[in-house]
A and B are shown apart, each in its own frame.
Chain A
């Protein structure tokens, strides 16, 4: 979708925060910043596929920080995205054994990044596993949970949209779906360390 007019940084952040026409905001992020982020990865031992995967992750971290109010436009979106991108890519490189020799140099280059951002990057790692579990839920479950938690639609509207016989049936369904996902999260080996940290109040 082509934009008639570019949003200002503040307008863009507001559209993401309020979820009003978020597609327009995301499209603009891609139009304006994909090139520079991709270029950074290509210049640092990555290829175009690495860039595509990582930039998707960068966008998710960025959105998460915006929706949680952890980024309110204190810096420019461009430099903020670049900073997230550098940190994520360096983390990726550190995972790669073949790149171990270069790690120290990258580490030196690693941006001083806000603690919130660093935490969010780490939290998103865990959320990747949660999203995988979510994807494995039934189609109906995914629809119910998305419409309720993301689109924030009232029960009555979801009921009509998904043709549930009653709101009560829908409530039961939503409860079961959420319960199922939460249980899977709780028993996921990949998320154990995160939950252990929660137990230790870290």
Chain B
């Protein structure tokens, strides 16, 4: 440090506290004294450095706080975007499934008809054990041969109730697309069974009534019979209907 000017003197000049006369003298010496100029410039830099270091610390803290806040809001945004993205994916999958379901329902709705159920119906097969009675044997034979002319002739000769004859005739009516006549005969057998406390052709009646009803578009009656068959595991025709047939018959019910 300069012998004549100590650090306190230089500071007094910088702070404007030096007497004017002394200040003038100082400026003159500063012009010619290079070491004084170095001292003076070093002090100025030191003082500026001290102040700037304090500002720097303040700026550093503000920046750290700002960046931390920005990172957390960025993380929140990213989390939000992720959840929105997940939600979007779930929505897309749900929308696809809904579309698929709606299409399937539309196909089901428009393609379901009574025929879609009755087409799978089994034709009645005459059991191997035959009745010994002439009329019935002839009827059975004629039924097996699908000889409707003979059947009609034999049917006109029936003068008393016979369950088997009535049943075979109802099957003939179903074959001839006369579901109403088939229904009447099948219900007649059922009534007789009730009064006789017998169960002749009971399971067959349920099964073929479903067909007779469907062909007449009596959907609700057909549905009741079908449900009866499906609810009874011991029913002869239990395996002949499925849950899918139940769905179809409900669709037909909606359509009606």
- When chains A and B are docked, how far (Å) is the Cα of A134 from the Cα of B49? 7
Query: Is A164 positioned at the interface, with any CB of B under 8 Å from its CB?
Result: no
B64-93 near A? 1/0 per residue, CB < 8 Å = 011100100000000000000000000000
Rounded to whole Å, the gap between the CB of A88 and the closest CB of chain B is: 14
- When chains A and B are docked, how far (Å) is the Cα of A191 from the Cα of B66? 33
> Which residue from A27, A123, A146, A183 sits with its C-beta under 8 Å from B53?
A146
> Which residue from A22, A29, A130, A151 sits with its C-beta under 8 Å from B45?
A130
Most buried by B among A135, A146, A178: A178
User: Is the beta-carbon distance between B52 and A186 smaller than 8 angstroms?
Assistant: no
Q: Which residues of B contact A63 (CB under 8 A)?
A: 55, 59
Q: Which residues of B contact A159 (CB under 8 A)?
A: none
- What is the interface size of chain A, counting residues whose CB is below 8 A from a CB of the partner? 45
Across chains A and B, the number of contacting residue pairs, with CB separation under 8 Å, is 114
Interface of B: prevailing SS: helix
Rounded to whole Å, the gap between the CB of B190 and the closest CB of chain A is: 85
User: Is the beta-carbon distance between B58 and A135 smaller than 8 angstroms?
Assistant: no
Q: Which residues of A contact B45 (CB under 8 A)?
A: 126-127, 130, 185, 191, 194
> Given the known A-B contacts A22-B58, A23-B58, are A34 and B46 also in contact in the complex, defined by CB atoms under 8 Å?
no
A64 nearest in chain B by CB position: B52
- When chains A and B are docked, how far (Å) is the Cα of A153 from the Cα of B55? 16
Most buried by A among B8, B43, B59, B63: B59
> Which residue from B39, B60, B66 sits with its C-beta under 8 Å from A182?
B39
Rounded to whole Å, the gap between the CB of B47 and the closest CB of chain A is: 6
Interface of A: prevailing SS: helix
- When chains A and B are docked, how far (Å) is the Cα of A16 from the Cα of B66? 18
Q: Which residues of B contact A67 (CB under 8 A)?
A: 51
Q: Which residues of A contact B49 (CB under 8 A)?
A: 127, 130-131, 133-134, 181, 185
Q: Which residues of B contact A23 (CB under 8 A)?
A: 58, 61-62
Q: Which one of A3-11, A51-59, A96-104 is at the B interface?
A: A51-59
User: Is the beta-carbon distance between B42 and A182 smaller than 8 angstroms?
Assistant: yes
Q: Interface of B with A (CB < 8 Å)?
A: 1, 7-8, 11, 34, 37-43, 45-56, 58-63, 65-67, 70
Q: Interface of A with B (CB < 8 Å)?
A: 1, 22-23, 26-27, 29-31, 34, 52, 55-56, 59-60, 63-64, 67, 123-124, 126-127, 130-131, 133-135, 142, 145-146, 149-151, 175, 178-179, 181-183, 185-186, 191, 194-195, 198-199
Told that A23-B58, A149-B47, A181-B46 touch, could you supply 13 new A-B pairs with CB distance under 8 A?
A: A26-B62, A30-B62, A56-B63, A59-B63, A127-B45, A130-B49, A142-B53, A149-B51, A150-B54, A179-B7, A186-B38, A186-B42, A198-B38
Q: List 10 A-B contacts (CB under 8 A).
A: A23-B61, A26-B58, A26-B62, A29-B62, A34-B63, A56-B63, A60-B55, A149-B47, A186-B38, A198-B40
